[in-house]
Structure 1
Amino acid sequence: MRLRHLLALLLIATLAGCASWAPRDPLHIDLVGLEPLPSEGLEMRFAVKLRVQNPNENAIDFNGVSLALDINDQPLARGVSDQSGRVPRFGETVVSVPVTISAYSVFRQAWGASSHQLGQSLPYQLHGKLADGLFGTRRFSDSGQLTWPPEQPAVR
C-alpha cells in the first residue's frame, strides 16, 4: 500500500515538473567571423565566430558547442569546442568554434563548383548545438545563399 502511495506521489511530482517547462523560442545564430588557425598536413582550420542571440526570458548556460557547415549540399567544415558560457536573457554573446576542412572536402567542393560561374550563389546549411546536459541542449540551424567569390565591380 505504501509503495502505491509513493509511486502516485512520484508520478504527480514528475507531471508537475514537466508542466512547469515553458516553451522556448529558438536561438538566433549568425556567422560573424572566420579567422585562420594553424593547420596540419592537407587540412585547413578556422575559428568560426557565431553570434548567439537568446530571445527567451531565461538565460541559457552551455558547456560545449558543435557545428557543421555544408555548402552546395556537400559537407565542408566540422568543429567542436568544450567552451562554456552563458547567453543572457534577451541578450547575445559571441562563441568561437574551431573547425576543420579536410583536403577531401575542398576537392569535393572544387569539383562541384566547376559547373558554377564566378559570383553564382551556392546554398549553405549550418547545423549545431549548444550543449548543457540531457535537457539543456539547444540545437540550431541556419541556411541561405553564399556567393563565393563575391562579385567584383567592373573596372573601366
Structure 2
Amino acid sequence: MIVFRRCGSVLFLLLYLVLLHGCASMLARTEPPRVHLVGLQLQQMDLFEQRYLVRLRVQNPNDFPLRVRGLDFRVDIDGERFADGVSNRPLEVPAFGEALAEVEVSSSLWSLARRLRDAGEAGVGAMEYRLHGRVALTGYAVPLGFESSGNLGALVPVR
C-alpha cells in the first residue's frame, strides 16, 4: 500500500512538472505585441476632467493569433503623466497582423493646461508622448508589457 502511495506521488509530481514546463515554454516563445498610439481625440470636456478617445494599433509579431482580453495603459506627454486607460473589450490580432483598439481615457484639466502652456510657440505637434502598459492575453496568466513613444504631431485625429 505504501509503495502505491509513493508511486502515485511520484507520478503526480512528474505530471505537474511536465505541465509546468509546457506552460513556461509556451510563454517563453510568445513575443509581446507592439502597441502604438495612432489617434487622440477630445470627446468631452468638464471643469475637472477631459475624456479622450485613444486609438491604439496592436501588432502581433508571432506566427499564431493573439486574443487580447484586456489592456491597461498610461500616456505620458513630455515626461509627465497625461492620461490612464483600461479596456476589457476582446480583440483578436491575427498572426503577423495588426488590429485597432479604441479606448476612452481621462485626464485632468490641470494636466492639459500645463502641457499646452509648456508647448508654447512650438505647439502641440512638438510634444513627445510615451505609451506604456500591459496586455492581458487569453490563456496567459501573466500580462505582457509594452512601451512605445513618438511625437504628437504625427498622430492622425480619430474620426
TM-score (norm 1): 0.76
Q: What pairs with 1:70-89 in structure 2 (closer than 5 Å)?
A: 70-89=76-95
2:122 to 109, 118, 121: 118
Does the alignment pair 1:141 with 2:154? no
Deviations, residues 13-64 of structure 1 (Å, cap 9, x unaligned): 4224433545233423232222332344321111101111112111111122
Residue number in structure 2 paired with 1:103: 109
* CA separation of 1:108 and 1:97: change in aligned 2, threshold 3 A: same
**Distance across 1 between alignment mates of 2:26 and 2:98:** 25
* CA separation of 1:83 and 1:21: change in aligned 2, threshold 3 A: closer
- What are the ranges of 5 or more consecutive residues in structure 1 without an aligned counterpart? 149-156
**Distance across 1 between alignment mates of 2:144 and 2:23:** 19
* CA separation of 1:18 and 1:147: change in aligned 2, threshold 3 A: closer
**Distance across 1 between alignment mates of 2:30 and 2:17:** 24
Q: Which runs of 4+ in 1 moved over 4 A?
A: none
Deviation at 1:138, TM superposition (A): 2.8
Does the alignment pair 1:32 with 2:58? no
Deviation at 1:130, TM superposition (A): 2.2
Residue number in structure 2 paired with 1:64: 70
TM-score (norm 2): 0.75
**Distance across 1 between alignment mates of 2:26 and 2:48:** 51
**After alignment, is 83-92 or 32-41 more displaced?**
32-41
The one-letter amino acid of 1:9's match is L
Does the alignment pair 1:47 with 2:50? no
Deviation at 1:12, TM superposition (A): 3.4
Residue number in structure 2 paired with 1:151: none
**Distance across 2 between alignment mates of 1:6 and 1:54:** 36
The one-letter amino acid of 2:44's match is P
Deviations, residues 59-113 of structure 1 (Å, cap 9, x unaligned): 11112222211011110111112211211111111100101111231233245x1
Residue number in structure 2 paired with 1:128: 133
Q: What is the root-mean-square deviation in Å for CA atoms of aligned residues?
A: 2.6
- The number of equivalent residue pairs is 146
Residue number in structure 1 paired with 2:12: 6
Deviation at 1:6, TM superposition (A): 2.4
**After alignment, is 14-23 or 49-58 more displaced?**
14-23
The one-letter amino acid of 1:46's match is Y
Point out the structure with the larger helix share: 2
